[in-house]
Structure 1
Amino acid sequence: MRVLPRRFRPHTVQLIKQLHEDDNGATAEQVITILHVKADPSYGMQQSKRGITTDDKIIVYIELGDYTAYDENDRVLQYGTDFIISTNDTLKFRDDEYTITGVNEIFLDGTKPIRVEITGK
């Protein structure tokens, strides 16, 4: 399967994962920076009163065959083994933060996804 060229995926997003609470009750978080993604902040479908409507404001496409992800310690991470994206996480693009409302893994013919689509509001 061909991967979309990087010139069409010029964006960088930050994934803020909520980790467990420590002994003091403070929630720890992990910030993962993901490069070479396609982010569309003008995403949002509206049709008619009976048609499709959604509150989502952004969609992010991650090509799992060609991306770079790292954490605060500059440790390179791999999707599926080092991190998973869930609806409890927050997505930061430019200066705006979005709550993740959906994660769609696209499979071609195997057990490993080739692309991840993230929607948020």
Structure 2
Amino acid sequence: MRVLPRRFRPHTVQLIKQLPEDDNGVAAEQVITILHVKADLSYGMQQSKRGITTDDKIIVYVELGDYTAYDENDRVLQYGTDFIISTNDALKFRDDEYTITGVNEIFLDGTKPIRVEITGK
């Protein structure tokens, strides 16, 4: 499977994972930076009789064969074993924060996904 070249995936996003509360009831979060992704801010724009309508604001494509993800301690992470993306998380791109509304894993032949599509608003 050919991977889209990095020059077409120039963006960096931050995934803000909501962690469970500790014993004191304080909610924690983990920030994961993902490099070499494609972020499309025009996703969800549809032309209708009333004009352009939007539901989701952003879609992010992560090629799992060629990306870099790390946490606050500069520890390199791998999707599926070290972290997963869920709809409880948030996504930060260009100083804007988006709520994740959907995560679509694309499979080719096996049990491991080759790409993840993240939508948010």
Structure 1 stretches lacking a partner, 5+ long: none
- Out of 46-55 and 63-72, give the one that drifted further: 46-55
- Out of 2-11 and 17-26, give the one that drifted further: 17-26
Q: CA deviation at 1:48?
A: 3.3
**What's the % identity of the aligned pairs?**
95
Please list the CA deviations of residues 67-116 of structure 1 after superposition, one character each: whole Å capped at 9, or x if unmatched: 00000000000000000000000000010000000000000011000000
Structure 2 stretches lacking a partner, 5+ long: none
Q: TM-score, normalised by structure 1?
A: 0.93
Q: Say if 1:51 and 1:65 are closer, same or farther in 2 by CA, change over 3 A.
A: farther
Alpha-carbon separation, structure 2, partners of 1:117 and 1:29 = 22
Alpha-carbon separation, structure 1, partners of 2:111 and 2:54 = 30
Give the length in aligned residue pairs: 121
Q: CA deviation at 1:24?
A: 2.0
Residue aligned with 1:7, SS: helix
Alpha-carbon separation, structure 1, partners of 2:2 and 2:51 = 33
Alpha-carbon separation, structure 2, partners of 1:51 and 1:68 = 39
Q: CA deviation at 1:44?
A: 1.3
Structure with the largest fraction of strand: 2
Alpha-carbon separation, structure 2, partners of 1:63 and 1:100 = 18
Kindly report the root-mean-square deviation, in angstroms, between the aligned alpha carbons of the 2 structures.
1.9
Q: TM-score, normalised by structure 2?
A: 0.93
Question: Hey, which bits of structure 1, 4+ residues long, moved more than 6 A?
Answer: 49-53
